[in-house]
Amino acid sequence: MKCMQRQLKLSRSEESLCYARSQKVIQVNSKLLGMEGDHELQFLLQGGELLKVRSTSWIKPRYFRLQADCKTMWQQSKKTFNTNQTFSLEDISEVRAGRQSEGLRKYTEEQVEGRCFSIIFKDRHKNLDLMASSEEQAKQWISSLEKMISNINSLNSQQKTEHWIFSCLTKADKNKDDKLTQSEVKDFFSMINIDVDDHYTEMLFKECDKSESGYLDGKEIEHFYKLLTHREEIDVIYGEYAQTTGFMSPEHLLNFLVKEQREKATLADAHKIIEKYEPDENAKEKKMLSKDGFLMYLQQPDTFILSPEHKEVYQDMCQPLNHYFISSSHNTYLMEDQLKGPSSTEGYVRALMKGCRCVELDCWDGSDDEPVIYHGYTLTSKILFKDVIKAIKEYAFKTSDYPVILSLENHCSVKQQAVMAHHLSSILGSALITSPLGEGIPTNFPSPEELKGKFLLKGKRLNKLEAAADNDTDVTEEEEESIGENEQKEEEKSKKKKKLQLAKELSDMVIYCKSVHFQGFEYARQKQSFYEMSSLKEGEAMKLTEESANACIRHNMEKLTRIYPAGYRTDSSNYNPVPLWNAGFQIVALNFQTACTGMDVNQGRFLVNGKSGYILKPSYMRDIATEFDPITVTRGDWLKHKVLHVMIISAQQLPKVNQRKSSIVDPVVKVEIDGVTADVAVKETYVIENNGFKPAWNENFQFNVYVPDLALVRFVVEDYDCTSVNEFVGQYTLPFNSLQMGYRHVPLLNKNGDLLPSARLFVHIMVLDAE
């Protein structure tokens, strides 16, 4: 009995000690997040029960609680927490109140609307549909999660690094005694993606173990952190400009900004930087910038490689619509492949939130006289047309205010087309353009500025705008896409054009984007109105680009053209959109659900101009007399080219590709230029073995860029593998003309295009005129 009592006391003592350590970890992390004593944080740390909804027969209680790292949610199904059932708050894209997901709308009743909410993830994980016990509880969960996500996203680079390293240090402390042994230090190195030999670990450990106790604690761990995060390259740059007093004066800082960063800065700007970023109050009082303050400044997003002026809408948005490249999605409803994957309104939400301005709707007759959307003649699932329009209305203008084009692939009967017209009218209301802007028959496209907050319908029309309405309900149906092999074979047997019955009320909604068959540039120029546009398969468009790029450019000065992936891309793969943009094609549609280089480049193209989804073409692609040809342009032609100098200096906090403890990244950096034929180039650094934490290269590259307006610069980090293909680590793509010069950090995105919180490159950029 006494033995049991001693064990119970020991168990309670350990539990008390564990609780105290957990509170200490929470205290440190909440301080980093600026949320000490915050009510919302305490609510999440305490946790609570929610109903997880998967179907009408699968609605089960789950206990959710925030871990001590203040960024990981834990999920409990029975009596104990399953550590595998976790997700990071950093991976959440949105917390959506109400029954606003397909699952909740399908599997719950309207009366529980206020108790429901969904957690939407950035990657391709399924939504987490949840139901609270009351509306008040649901509001508390939503507000608490949103506040935590906002605070995490608001951390600067240095704070994110501190948060991440502290979390790794906590995990490395296996016996939770707030001390690090030499063995735990070695494990910590593996966690932060660096492999060091035992000799180096021992040397660093002894340097920090001032007390010679055999472990690190308190100030010794702080010293260890400072040694770990010390960056020699920053020392060199700082030392070059802070030569007199060991600190950087406003005059020194101004010299750095003007000479190195090529900024149009003033002495007043230098004083503002010191006031804002210098952490040492004594140095700030003396108007001096310390090395820590200098690094803090260089880690601010506005000092990164992307010009801050280009983050906002900076281009002329009053040009005709066809003078812009337009971010466009193909088969937007599909979440996976083209043959058997699920269709979902979530596909539209994700595309629109990424700034997509042209979405596709494949419309077919459904049951109960309700049209559906799916990939015809395949096993893809079906969703209601009206649900898609509701989702589009809800999310169309959250990222961009500029117009959204609804590209209809219409296979419905006249009866259900009338239903489509009703839904479009009743749901979109006055936001849907149903008549030309201004007085009389238009002779040119309106501008994105004039169409702000509006929807344009692209589809078949019974007649031209210029013609009086008639009673004919037949139009020739030109299939835009190969939907299935059986249909293809039938079409090959019969050369006859099919007739599509078209409802007048739907036809009348097509104003500026009437779909017509492409019959050549000369026919389009002579016979077609400006608003009559064609859709081309990628193969046909690529052939036109290669054979007559200048003719493509001239055609697209007057008309809109849409390009879409070939039918053989059943895996939802993508083509390279750059050659098609180079030929002036505006609506180059990609499979947004597929992570690939094509989508990276698309995201890079539309990264600027406020992520509006519209990029103004260069002036020589808007001049009808242009002789520009992206295939043949070379040095000595009508443009004076630029020379890009890139120095890849270092990287910080690269993520592990493989989460195994022994797996360490061997990073290699590629710099790619994509643009006109003469500009396409790739160069790469040497490989650094076993160091993803802070590898350094100091390697220089030079590129000739003949058409800067169309060039994109892509930084790619890969994990080198001598036996197979390198594995992707992260990338960042941006327009050449949006580069900031000087010493710049390059944020890195994961394969889905989402920001990797702490990972970045450090580079030096210089752009010079060719001699």
Catalytic residues: 330, 375
Cα end-to-end span (Å), the chain: 92
Type of residue found at 141: W
Angle between helices 385-395 and 414-428 (to 10 degrees): 20
> 501 - beta bridge partners?
474
517 burial via Cβ count (<10 Å: 0-12, 13-18, 19+): middle
Beta-sheet pairing, 561-564 with 587-590: parallel
Assign 3-state DSSP to the chain and report helix, strand, coil percentages, each to 5.
35, 25, 40
Q: What residue ranges in 17-77 does DSSP mark as E strands?
A: 48-55, 58-66, 72-76
Question: CA-CA distance, 511 to 527, in Å (whole number)?
Answer: 18
* Residue 296 phi, psi (nearest 5): -60, -40
Output Rg (C-alpha) for the chain, integer angstroms: 29
> 73 - beta bridge partners?
66, 87
Question: CA-CA distance, 277 to 667, in Å (whole number)?
Answer: 31
- Angle made by CA atoms 357, 363, 364, in degrees to the nearest 5: 170
C-alpha distances in Å from residue 50, one per residue of 77, 188, 576: 11, 35, 45
* Two structure tokens written together for 474: 């037949």
* Residue 646 phi, psi (nearest 5): -125, 125
Report the SS3 class of residue 283. helix
> 49 - beta bridge partners?
63
731 CB contacts (<8 Å, ≥6 apart)? 600, 714, 715, 716, 717, 748, 749
Give the up-direction half-sphere exposure of residue 150: CA atoms within 13 A in the CB hemisphere: 10
Question: CA-CA distance, 364 to 359, in Å (whole number)?
Answer: 16
CB 406 within 8 A of CB 373: no
Report the SS3 class of residue 299. coil
Q: What is the DSSP letter of 622?
A: S
CA-nearest of 516, 390, 511 to 456 is 511
